[in-house]
């Protein structure tokens, strides 16, 4: 009889010890201890960000809120303790095959939060383990839809797709997946070498394209510079010719005006007393001066037949002048000017 009593007592103590011991969730890559199941002491203080699930006679009764709570001994028992904080789970490394048949080794980090302690307690046996397995299977499924290049370029899109798939299945468990982040993606060594060669080829291609574009831009700039230089040079020549023509025209006008004034002054002088004698003297002086310079500029000299008859030349010039003076004084003055010029340059052919 005493042995039966002792066995019953030891069994009760063993059950109480099992209830008081903390629950251990064993995951493939980690072990995390949850809060230990507290003993019903009538007056209980629930910590902040925790939910205690209470059963009354083996049936769900209520969830204790943070703060002061009262329970009935023997009838009420705390069955589950759920943390409402954000939970971080390390998803173990796994192999996955991409759309272009490349085997990848990939791992990640999962961020969870329990929204409904009732569903998290009674909806699934081990919610964290279930979500971890779901994340692994979803990751393999999503990677099978993408090629290797897209896996590296669209990591953010891949993360969001995994979160969406996990949330669709974990709604019945009272768990919300907040984020999923891929930590490392390992590719086979040969594929890695091929990717490195591809990157180098792409860089060489971009360098060649940039160099050709630079050469083209330089050639365009040189051509534009030559074009502008030619345009500016032609505009400069045009302006120079215009200025030169304008200067020559002004010089011709000034020379004509000076010559007209000289003819007018000579005409006035010839009309005075002894003007004819002064004209004859001027023609004779110019004739003699011209003969003194005949051999200075050229070795070839053309002389009139009566080069030594100065009086004859002067008489001839004055005769022409007298004849023209009777008809037009201005014409006579012009002839006198022409004769004077001829006397100045008798060596001209």
Segment 321-335 shows an average pLDDT of 56
Q: What is the mean pLDDT of residues 45-51?
A: 89
pLDDT score of 322 more than 70: no
Between residues 265 and 225, the one the model is more confident about: 225
Residue 316 has pLDDT above 80, yes or no: no
Residue-wise pLDDT tens digits, 125-156 = 888 888 888 888 888 888 888 888 788 787 88
- Answer yes or no: is pLDDT of 220 > 90: yes
Query: Does 95 have pLDDT greater than 80?
Result: yes
Q: Does 340 have pLDDT greater than 70?
A: no
Residues 113 and 85 sit within 8 Å (Cβ to Cβ): yes
Four-point Cα dihedral 242, 248, 253, 254, nearest 10: 120
Residue 212, pLDDT score:
92
Q: How much is the average pLDDT of 42-71?
A: 89
pLDDT over threshold 50, residue 16: no
Q: For residue 345, which of 282, 281, 301 has the smallest C-alpha distance?
A: 301
Burial class (CB in 10 A: 0-12, 13-18, 19+), 134: buried
Find the range with the poorest average confidence among 67-71, 197-201, 258-262, 328-332. 328-332
Task: Decide if pLDDT at 60 tops 70.
Answer: yes
Longest CA pairwise span in the chain (Å): 189
Mean residue pLDDT of the chain comes to 76
Q: Which helix (H) or strand (E) is 343 found in, with range?
A: helix 329-344
pTM: 0.47
């Amino acid at each position: 009889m005493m042995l039966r009593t002792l066995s019953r007592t030891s069994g009760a103590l063993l059950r109480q010890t099992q209830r008081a011991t903390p629950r251990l969730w064993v995951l493939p890559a980690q072990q995390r201890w949850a809060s230990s199941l507290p003993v019903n002491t009538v007056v209980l203080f629930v910590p902040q960000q925790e939910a205690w699930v209470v059963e009354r006679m083996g049936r769900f009764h209520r969830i204790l809120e943070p703060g002061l709570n009262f329970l009935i001994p023997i009838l009420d028992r705390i069955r589950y303790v759920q943390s409402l904080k954000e939970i971080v789970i390390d998803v173990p490394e796994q192999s996955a095959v991409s759309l272009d048949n490349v085997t990848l080794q990939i791992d990640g980090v999962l961020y969870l939060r329990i929204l409904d302690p009732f569903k998290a307690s009674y909806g699934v046996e081990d919610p964290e383990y279930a979500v971890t397995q779901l994340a692994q299977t979803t990751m393999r499924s999503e990677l099978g839809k993408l090629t290797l290049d897209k896996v590296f370029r669209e990591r953010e899109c891949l993360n969001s797709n995994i979160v969406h798939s996990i949330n669709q299945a974990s709604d019945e468990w009272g768990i919300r997946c907040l984020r999923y982040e891929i930590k490392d993606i390992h590719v086979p060594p040969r594929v890695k070498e091929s990717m490195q060669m591809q990157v180098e080829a792409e860089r060489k291609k971009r360098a060649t394209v940039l160099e050709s574009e630079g050469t083209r831009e330089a050639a365009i700039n040189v051509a534009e510079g030559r074009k502008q230089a030619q345009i500016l040079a032609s505009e400069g020549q045009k302006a120079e010719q215009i200025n030169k023509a304008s200067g020559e025209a002004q010089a011709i006008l000034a020379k004509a005006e000076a010559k007209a004034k000289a003819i007018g002054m000579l005409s006035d002088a010839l009309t005075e007393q002894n003007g004819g004698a002064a004209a004859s003297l001027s023609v004779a002086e110019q004739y003699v001066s011209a003969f003194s310079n005949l051999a200075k500029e050229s070795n070839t000299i053309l002389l009139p037949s009566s080069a030594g008859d100065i009086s004859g030349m002067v008489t001839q010039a004055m005769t022409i002048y007298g004849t023209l003076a009777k008809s037009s004084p201005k014409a006579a003055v012009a002839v006198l000017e022409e004769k004077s010029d001829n006397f100045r340059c008798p060596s001209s052919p």
